[in-house]
Amino acid sequence: MLSSGILTLIGFACLALAFAAVAGRRGTATAVVSLCWVPLVALLLGLTVHQKLGYAAMSLVIAIVVASMTLALVGAALAIRAHRSGSGPVRALVSGTVVAAAPLVLLLGAWILGR
Using one digit for the tens of pLDDT, what is the confidence trace for 6-28? 777 887 888 889 889 998 998 88
Using one digit for the tens of pLDDT, what is the confidence trace for 41-64? 989 988 888 888 777 788 888 888
Higher per-residue pLDDT: 63 or 109: 109
Whether the CA torsion 82, 83, 89, 92 is positive or negative: it is: positive
Which of 36, 9, 46 is CA-nearest to residue 100? 36
Q: At a CB cut-off of 8 Å and minimum separation 6, what does 5 contact?
A: 59
Higher per-residue pLDDT: 9 or 74: 74
Using one digit for the tens of pLDDT, what is the confidence trace for 76-88? 998 999 999 987 7
Which of 7, 3, 1 is CA-nearest to residue 64? 7
As a whole number of angstroms, the distance between CA 32 and CA 38 comes to: 10
Higher per-residue pLDDT: 72 or 7: 72
Contact 35, 18 (CB under 8 A): yes
